[in-house]
Amino acid sequence: MTNETLETLKTRRSCRAYKPDQVSEEELNAVLEAGTYAPTAMGLQSPKIVVIQDPETRALLSRMNAAVMGREGSDPMYGAPTYLLVLADAARPTAQQDGSLVMGNLMNAAASLGLGSCWINRAREMFDSAEGKALLTRWGIQGEWQGVGFCILGYPAADPKPAAPRKADYIVRV
Ligand SMILES: Cc1cc2nc3c(=O)[nH]c(=O)nc-3n(C[C@H](O)[C@H](O)[C@H](O)COP(=O)(O)O)c2cc1C
């Protein structure tokens, strides 16, 4: 059985090469709106999505992310023109779960529009650091927030790697 939604879920792939062109506002807003409709524990809509497009802030975040890995000089964001940073309310016991579902919605919505996206890790370490917390303050975000992930976004510059075959013991029916 299939339909358009199931096809998108199956064909979404992580994109690691981007054109420099910025995504359109219309596409960006559609992806963001899909993110806000992710289920959250008790319907509290606890996460936040921060949109980062200016080159200076992107370069700073890329440097910070690379530093967490000890790979200074690399661009872990693959030159993507938009970063969507998902933050989770540290006061919620389901902070990371709520934020991860937002990440999933963002990536699948991007795929449905033909945009490239990829989850970039290490947001937790970045926003646990004093430098990360100072950035949140600079952006006017108050309170305690955990980094969940960056959903990088843009127009794909290359065909992504095809999906690996699904492992045989993925599903257990009891
Ligand atoms: C929690 C999480 C963290 C990830 N971190 C990174 C990352 O830092 N850099 C990267 O290139 N891909 C990252 N990915 C993407 C995975 O490598 C990718 O989803 C996986 O290889 C399967 O490929 P697909 O997304 O094309 O199906 C991450 C994915 C998840 C779910």
Residues with CB under 6 A from ligand 1: 13-14, 16, 118-121, 160, 163
pLDDT at 148: 98
- Per DSSP, the three-state class of 78 is coil
Residue 161 has pLDDT above 90, yes or no: no
CA neighbor of 125 nearest in space, from 80, 60, 69: 69
Domain boundaries, the chain: 4-154
Superfamily of domain 4-154: NADH Oxidase (3.40.109.10)
Token look-up 């004093």 returns 130
pLDDT averaged over the chain?
Answer: 98
pLDDT at 49: 99
Helix (H) / strand (E) containing 65: helix 55-69
How would you list the strands of the sheet with 82-89, edge to edge? Answer: 48-52, 82-89, 145-154, 116-120
**Protein residue closest via CA to atom 3 of ligand 1:** 121
Q: What is the mean pLDDT of residues 129-149?
A: 98
Instruction: Report strand pairing: 82-89 vs 48-52.
Output: antiparallel
**Protein residue closest via CA to atom 10 of ligand 1:** 120
The CA 83 to ligand 1 mean position distance, Å, reads 15
8-32 per-position pLDDT tens digit? 999 999 999 999 999 999 999 999 9
